[in-house]
Amino acid sequence: MKFLALCSKYIKMKKWISLHLLISIGLVFFYYSCKPEKSKHQGMDLMKYGIPYTIFAPDDVIATQIGGGQMVDLKLTNNTNYDIMIFMSRAQTKHMDRLKQFKKEEVSFYPGFIKIVEEYNEGFLYEMYGSTGNLSYGFFAVKIVGDQEISFISGAGRDYTEAEAKAMLRTILY
């Protein structure tokens, strides 16, 4: 009789363990199936060019290093609508508001400059007459990393719509 009672407890315990194991496996599967999928594009690390920043440029972007020495110059382009120039040098100031004001004054002297359209914490979008005389948009973004200032400027290779300029800017100011 004791043997049968012991066997009965063993069978119940085995069912209980199996049930817990099944629930645990189900929860693990549920957790991983609900986890958001990582982006296939993890960003372009600019450190290999001496710039401590990651930009979320399109996969087909080609980087061309232009200069060196005291200032690091990099141009990122593709065959569609992506053209960004990046400059890194010793920061003029560590105060973002002052630095952004310097950049706004600099851009206001560009030929064809019309106005600042939108401002962001670390940059701005501006309107101008492009090389063809048509309305065009550009941007200027700046990051301060340590004692370095990293400036991102829309490329001068063509005229950009507001949407194109904003799309490029979003790859920097994420």
Contact in structure between 71 and 88 (CB atoms under 8 Å):
yes
Residues 51 and 3 in one domain: no
Rounded alpha-carbon distances, angstroms, from residue 66 to 9, 49, 91, 96, 147: 77, 10, 20, 26, 22
For residues 8-18, average pLDDT: 57
Total tally of structural domains belonging to the chain: 2
The rounded distance, in Å, linking the Cα atoms of 35 and 103 is: 42
Please write the tens of the pLDDT for every residue from 25-54: 544 444 445 444 434 457 899 999 989 999
Domain residue limits at 145: 44-170
At residue 84, the 3 state secondary structure works out as: strand
Residues 75 and 27 in one domain: no
Residues 89 and 155 in one domain: yes
Please write the tens of the pLDDT for every residue from 66-114: 866 667 899 999 988 899 999 999 988 899 999 999 999 999 999 899 9
